[in-house]
Chain A
Amino acid sequence: MRENHLKILQYVTGIGLFFLVGGYHLLLMHFGKGDPESWSSVAQRAASAGWLTIYILILIFGIYHGLHGVRGLILEFSLPDRAVKVLNYSIVFVGIAVFGYAVYIPIHAF
């Protein structure tokens, strides 16, 4: 994947997070009914396919956006080409591992 493809995804996930997280917050805290933090409310959302989809999207967008940002920070330290390759593979590995660990809970609750 060329750098511009990664950057386009960074922009897309950034905008996506703005609407997903912002929209999620507005929906739950300002436009929702009842107490969104109550056990019954959480359990209801956990059993909903729509909410599950939103959670997984936030997870994917957040992991990509965050790890790509960290990669950008590390790349500014004059790494040789071989170190950049190791960094890229490490970031991908960490991303997949974090996603796998984090997605287990909402899927299991569903």
Chain B
Amino acid sequence: MEKITFKVQRYDPDKDKKPHIQVFTIPFKHGMTVLDGLINIKENVDNTLSFRSSCRMGICGSCGMLINNLPMLACHTPIEELKKDTITVKSLPNFPVVRDLVADLSLLFEKHKSIKPYIIAPDMAEIEKPTAEFLQAQMQLEEFVQFAYCVKCGLCMAACPTMATDRHFLGPQPLAQAYRYSADRRDGGAKERFHETDTPHGIWLCHLAGACSEACPKGVDPALAMQLLKRAIISDSLRLRKKPIPPSVAPPQAEKKPRVAVPEFTIKRPNAKS
């Protein structure tokens, strides 16, 4: 195909009462992504079009949008893979629209912050004044590393049907990250996170629709993390959860021998500095 049609959601809160669709037709090149198309529109057709993008390689999570009714990263979506002549692009659902394709993700970040997404070590003195690194075996890392690949793009939150009905629901991303940190052997804050997620609008509103895992561009599988979190909470409640082993600390560095002085040259060069 030589041309591709974009139906893009437009919304200027200063002028429009509600979002509407504007149609653009641009030249198509093999290998073009949806983001390439939007940049082409902005540079050559309508420079008022607003959207977020940054790395253009699927690692920052900025360009999350609703593309042909599915939440996707625009930079990670080749137009040819959509197999359509018309691409419909809207802002992520379940989030308020700031302008055009820019969604207000502050709710995502607030909910993420509420589950304490950082290592809460049992020994806070070691955290504040570290003397050595915490050791972690490969097997221990593999228990949670999949969930650590989250780039906070918000696609899972946009895809979640429970998020669509209950705006107080924590959502797949915070709940998956709650499990990620609770499962980390270096962490001692699992009970605090269980308290935050074991609420009427918390983990129990997840009904395993699985849309979050389908939408995730990084293979995080938030649905799996949430089911594991449910299991961890129930195990903890029934006193079946194994007592977490404190993280081991790297052994202190061996004492270094004093440096041996460089021997003096036995042959003096004529212009050598003394």
With A77-B165, A77-B166, A78-B168 already in contact, the answer to whether A4 and B205 are too (CB < 8 A) is no
The chain B residue sitting closest to A80, CB to CB, is: B168
Q: Can you name the residue of chain B whose Cβ is closest to the Cβ of A73?
A: B165
**Nearest CB to that of B169 among chain A residues?**
A76
- The 0/1 profile, CB within 8 Å of A marked 1, for residues 9-21 of chain B is 0000000000000
Q: Given A4-B198, A84-B200, is A78 in contact with B237 using a C-beta cutoff of 8 Å?
A: no
The yes or no answer to B109 lying at the interface (CB within 8 A) is no
Contacts of B91 in A (CB 8 A): none
Considering the complex, which residues of chain A in the window 54-110 have a beta carbon less than 8 Å from any beta carbon of chain B? Answer: 72, 75-79, 84
Among A3, A5, A72, the one with the most B-chain Cβ atoms within 10 Å of its Cβ is A3
Contact of A3 with B234 in the complex, beta carbons under 8 Å? no
A14 to B64, CA, bound (A): 40
Interfacial chain A residues near B203, Cβ < 8 Å: 3
If A72-B204, A75-B201, A84-B200 touch, whether A4 touches B165 (CB-CB below 8 Å) is no
Binary flags per residue of B186-202, CB closer than 8 Å to A gives 1, else 0: 00000000000011111
Could you say which of A8, A72, A84 contacts B234, with CB atoms under 8 Å apart? A8
Task: Give the docked Cα–Cα distance between A90 and B165 (Å).
Answer: 22
Q: What is the total of A-B residue contacts with beta carbons within 8 Å? A: 39
Q: Which residue of A3, A77, A79 is within 8 Å of B202 (Cβ)?
A: A3
Question: Are B200 and A75 in contact, CB atoms less than 8 angstroms apart?
Answer: yes
A74 and B198 CA atoms in complex are apart in Å by 17
Total interface residues on A, CB under 8 Å, equals 13
Q: Determine which of A7, A78, A84 lies in contact with B204 in the assembled complex, contact meaning CB atoms within 8 Å.
A: A7
Do A2 and B205 have beta carbons less than 8 Å apart? Answer: no
Q: Restricting to B153-180, which residues have a CB under 8 Å from any CB of A? A: 162, 165-169
* Chain B nearest CB, measured from A84 CB (Å): 5
Smallest CB gap from B161: residue in A: A76
Chain B residues lying within 8 Å of A7, measured Cβ to Cβ, are 204, 230, 234
> Interface residue tally of chain B, by bracket?
10 to 19
Asked if residues A5 and B237 are in contact (CB atoms below 8 Å), the reply is yes
Q: How far is the CA of A5 from the CA of B204 in the complex (A)?
A: 11
- Knowing A3-B198, A84-B200 touch, does A76 contact B162 (C-beta < 8 A)? yes
Cα–Cα, bound, A47→B203 (Å): 45
Query: Which chain B residue lies CB-closest to A11?
Result: B234
Q: Tell me the nearest residue of chain B to A88, going by C-beta.
A: B200
Known: A75-B200, A75-B205, A84-B200. A2 touches B237 (CB 8 A): yes
Q: Encode A1-25 as 1/0 by CB contact (under 8 A) with B.
A: 0111101100000000000000000
Interface residues of B (CB under 8 A from A): 162, 165-169, 198-205, 230, 233-234, 237-238
**Closest 8 interchain pairs by CB?**
A76-B166, A4-B237, A4-B233, A76-B165, A78-B166, A78-B167, A4-B198, A3-B198
Subset of 16 A-B contacts with CB under 8 Å: A3-B204, A4-B204, A4-B233, A4-B234, A7-B204, A7-B230, A8-B238, A72-B205, A75-B166, A75-B200, A75-B205, A77-B166, A78-B165, A78-B168, A79-B168, A84-B200
Given contacts A3-B198, A8-B234, 7 further A-B contacts (CB under 8 A): A3-B199, A4-B237, A72-B205, A75-B205, A76-B162, A76-B205, A78-B167
